[in-house]
A and B are shown apart, each in its own frame.
Chain A
Amino acid sequence: MAQPTKYSYELTISSSPHIHAPVTTQVIMADVLIALTPALLGAVAYFGLRALTVTLVSAAACLFFEWAYCRLLKTECQTYDLSALVTGVLLAFVCPVTIPYWTIILGDFFAIVVVKMLFGGLGKNLVNPALAGRAFLFSWPAIMSTWVQVGRANAVGIFHTADAITVATPLASLHQGLLPQQTLWDCFFGNVGGCIGETSGALLLVGFVYLLVRRVITPRIPLAFVGTVALLTFLLPMGQDRLVWMGYQVFSGGLLLGAIFMATDYVTSPLTPKGQILYAAGCGVLTVLIRYLGSYPEGVSYAILCMNCCCVLLDRVGRPTPFGAPGKGGAGK
C-alpha cells in the first residue's frame, strides 16, 4: 500500500489554543442583564408598569441604533453580544419613570451612536455609554428631575404621566444638610422617589451577589467606591449623627447602582487591581464632593464619567511584575 497522500478533509489551520472557555461576551452581558432583573422587578412594584415599558423601549432603541449604525456603515453587526441591551437597560435605570419616551430614545441614540459606535464600538468607548446618555439628557433638567411618589402606581400610566405627584428625594434633603423624612429602611428597600433602577439597594445587592457568584465582577470596585463614600460621609457628617448620615448617603441616590453596575464596566475601568482601587476611590471622593458642594444633589454619574477618563493613566499603576523579571537583562536572547 502506498503512502496515502490524498484525503478528503478540509482542515482548518489556525494558531493555538484550539479550545475556548465557555464564557463569551454574550454570556457576560446576559449575566449582567440577569443581575439587573431584581431591581427592574422592584421598580415595577414601586413605580408601576411604566418602569418596565420605559426600560424595554430604551433597550430596544439601543439595539436598533447599533444595528442601524452597522447597516448604514456596512460593518459587521455584533448586536448578538447583548452589550447594547445592557446600555439600554442601564440608561433607563438612571432616568425617572416619568421620562417621555422620545427623551429616552434620544438618550439611547446619544449613548449608542455618539459615545459607543463613533468611538469604534464595544471596547473602544472612553466613557460609560449609559452614563454619558444620562449626562446628555440633563439638557432637559426638568424632565430628568421629576420624581414621583412611590406606591401610587396609578398616578403614572404607561402613556400618561400628567397626574404624577412629585416628591422630594432623600438626596434633595441630604443636599441641604438635612436628614430625609423617609426612613433609612425605606431608602434601603427602595420605597422612595428616584430613578427607575436606583432606589432599591436591597435588590441591587441581590444582583451584586449574582455577579460575584458568576465571577463577572470582583468586589474590588464596588467595595472601594462605596467604602470611600461611607468613610468620607462618616468623617464629614454635616452636623448630623455620623452613622445615620452615612447610612442615608450610602443607600440614597444612585450610589449602589453606579458602584455595582456602572463603575465596574470593563471597558471604562482600569485593568490592574491597584488601578481599580484608585479609580473606585476617586469615584467615591468625587461623588461626595459633588453631593456636598455641587449645585445638583447627585454626583455618582459625573464622578464615574470623570474617573472613566482617567482609565488610561490608571492602567499604568500596579502592573504585575512578570515571572522571572529580576534577571530581565537576557530577554529575547
Chain B
Amino acid sequence: MAFSFFGGVHPRENKIAAELPIEVFPKPDIVVIPMSQHIGAPCVPLVRKGDTVTLGQKIGDNQGLCVPVHSSVSGTVKAVEMRAHTSGTTVMSVVIENDHLDTLCPEISPRTPEQVAALTGQELLEILREGGIVGMGGATFPTYAKLQSGLGKVDTIIVNASECEPFITADDRLCRESPAQILSGLKILMKILDLSSAHVAIEDNKPQAAQALRSQLGKDDGIRVDVLPARYPQGAEKQMIYAITGREVPSGGLPAAVGCAVFNAATCKAVHDVVYTGMPLVERVVTVSGDIVPNPKNFLVPIGTNINALLKAVGHTENPYKVLSGGPMMGASLYDLAAPTVKGVNAVTILGRKNRYAPENPRCLRCGKCISACPMKLMPVLMYKAQQSGKPEEMRSLHMMDCIECGCCAYTCPAGVPLVLAFRSGKQILRSAQAAKK
C-alpha cells in the first residue's frame, strides 16, 4: 500500500452512475450465449435447436483450459449458430427464446454454511469450474485455473476493486450493496489457497464502497481493505500487485511468479453465489454510461442480453460516435450492437462525437509525455518509430511485448498518435514471428 506505481494518467473520472443502485434488467425475450466467454478453449454446445433448457443449465463445455457456459433464462433453443461477439468477431452461440418462467435447473441447490465449511479445496475448485467462474474484470481467465496454478505458490491474495476506468461504477455499486457476499467469496478463495490473510484494494475515490467493505470485516478475518490513490491504471494487475506488495511481476510472467493472485470484486461475488446458492455465472452487473447518456444505469444483466437493448434502456437516442464494451481507456469499440453481454463485460460506454480526435497525419513532437505516462516504464515514442519502420528486432529490444495496452501513452499524446493501435499490431507481428520459430 505504501508503493506507488510509475507513470499513469488521471482522466476525468466521470463516475456519473456511482450513486445509482443496481437495477435488475428485465430478462429479454431472446438471449444469445456465446460459447467463448473466457480465455482458453471455446465450449462445445451441449444443446441442439429445439431443446428445452432451464435457468442455470449447462449448455456448453469442453476439455482443457475451459469453463462451461450456462443458460441465463429458461426456454427453447432457437438456433446454434455463429453470432456477433463483443470481441469483434463472430462466435458459435446458443440462441434461446425465453419462456419467462425461469424454471430452475434441477441440479441447482443451495448449500448451508455447514455444508460449505465441509467442502475441501478440490471440491470447491470443481464447483467454481462447473459454475463457469472467470475473472470478471475483463480478462476472463478461468478462476479455477488461476487458483490451481497458484496452489502452494501464492502467499498474497488481492481483491481488485479499484475500478480505475472512467465511467464504470459496477464494482463500486457491488461493493456498496453486496460487501458481505464479496468478502464471503474472498474467504472461499482464501480457503482454496490455504491463506489466512488477504487484501482488498480500492481507490480513494470510492470511500463509501471501502466503508461498506470495512463494516463487514470480522476481527480475525485477516482481510485488509487498502485504499489506493485514484490513478489510472491502478487496476492493472501488475501495477496493483506492485502497489500492494512492492513486488514486480517479471516480464512475460504471471502474478503467481511473485506469489500473488488477483481477483476482481465481481468475481468474488460470483464465487460466493455459486458456492452458496448453487447458481452458476449467468448474470453480472454492467454499467451503461457515457458522455451522451441521458440516464446512466447500473444493471444486473442476464448474460446474453443484446447490447442494443441496454442502449435503449438508458434512453439513448442521439447518434453515438462509439459504443464500447468496457471503459473508454481499454474498451473495444463495437461494430455490431447485436452482440450480447458476456461474462467479461463490466460496462457499455457510449461516447459522443466530441471525443473525436484522430488527426489524419499525426506528427510526433518527441515531447516524451508518453514515456512519463507509461506504467510499464517503456518508451512508446521509440516503439512507435520502430513499428512504423517495420523493425521487429528493435521492437523486441524496446520490450514492446511488455506493453499492457492500458492506453496511457495514447491518452496523453498531444499529437494524437495512435500508439496503442501500433503496439497491438506490432505485438501481433512479434507473436507470429515467435510462433514461426517454434
Q: Which residues of A are interface residues toward B (Cβ below 8 A)?
A: 1-5, 7-21, 23-25, 27-28, 75-76, 78, 81, 121-124, 266-267, 269, 271-272, 315, 319-333
Query: In angstroms, how far is the closest chain A Cβ from the Cβ of B401?
Result: 4
CB neighbours (8 Å) of A326 from chain B are 248, 250
In contact, A266 and B368 (Cβ under 8 angstroms):
yes
Find B251's partner among A4, A18, A75, A325 (CB 8 Å cutoff): A325
- With both chains docked as a complex, state the minimum distance between the C-beta of A214 and any C-beta of chain B, in angstroms: 12
Number of A-B contacts (CB under 8 A): 203
Q: Give the 6 A-B CB pairs with smallest separation, nearest first.
A: A327-B250, A17-B407, A330-B252, A15-B421, A320-B377, A266-B367
Q: How far is the CA of A5 from the CA of B421 in the complex (A)?
A: 29
- Contact assessment for A324 and B253 in the assembled complex, using a CB-CB cutoff below 8 Å: yes
Q: Taking CB as reference atom, which chain A residue is nearest B312?
A: A4
Give 27 CB contacts A-B under 8 Å: A3-B30, A9-B320, A9-B337, A11-B321, A11-B334, A11-B337, A13-B333, A13-B334, A15-B421, A16-B420, A18-B351, A19-B166, A19-B411, A20-B357, A24-B357, A28-B365, A28-B414, A76-B360, A123-B364, A271-B371, A323-B5, A326-B248, A330-B250, A331-B399, A331-B401, A332-B401, A332-B430
Interface: B229 (CB within 8 A) = no
Q: Do A271 and B381 contact each other (CB < 8 Å), given the known contacts A11-B334, A25-B363, A28-B414?
A: yes
Contact B355 A24 (CB under 8 A): no
Q: How far is the CA of A315 from the CA of B371 in the complex (A)?
A: 12
Q: Is B378 positioned at the interface, with any CB of A under 8 Å from its CB?
A: yes
What is the minimal beta-carbon distance from A220 to any residue of chain B, in angstroms? 11
Q: Please state if A12 and B321 are interface contacts (CB–CB under 8 Å).
A: yes
Q: Please give, as numbers and ranges, the residues of chain A lying within 8 Å of B407 by CB-CB distance.
A: 16-17
**B402 lies within 8 A of A18 (CB):** no
Seed contacts A28-B367, A124-B363; 14 additional CB < 8 Å A-B pairs: A5-B338, A11-B323, A14-B333, A16-B410, A19-B355, A24-B416, A81-B363, A122-B363, A266-B365, A266-B368, A271-B382, A272-B368, A323-B242, A327-B251
The answer on a CB contact under 8 Å between A18 and B324 is yes
Mark B350-373 against chain A: 1 for CB-CB distance below 8 A, else 0.
010001111111011111100100
Main secondary structure of the interface of B (DSSP, over half): loop
Is B328 touching A19 in the complex (CB atoms < 8 A)? yes
Query: For chain B residues 303-362, which have a beta carbon within 8 Å of chain A?
Result: 306, 308-309, 319-324, 326, 328-335, 337-338, 349, 351, 355-361
Could you tell me the distance in whole angstroms from the C-beta of B91 to the nearest C-beta in chain A?
A: 15
Q: Considering the chains assembled together, what is the distance between the CA atoms of A18 and B382 in angstroms? A: 22
- Of A12, A13, A16, A25, the contact of B365 (CB 8 Å cutoff): A25
Q: Is B379 an interface residue (CB 8 A)?
A: yes
The answer to whether A3 touches B338, judged by C-beta atoms less than 8 angstroms apart, is yes
B322's partner among A12, A75, A324 (CB-CB below 8 A) is: A12
Give Cα distance in the complex from A3 to B31, angstroms: 8
Q: Identify the closest chain A residue to B357 (Cβ).
A: A20
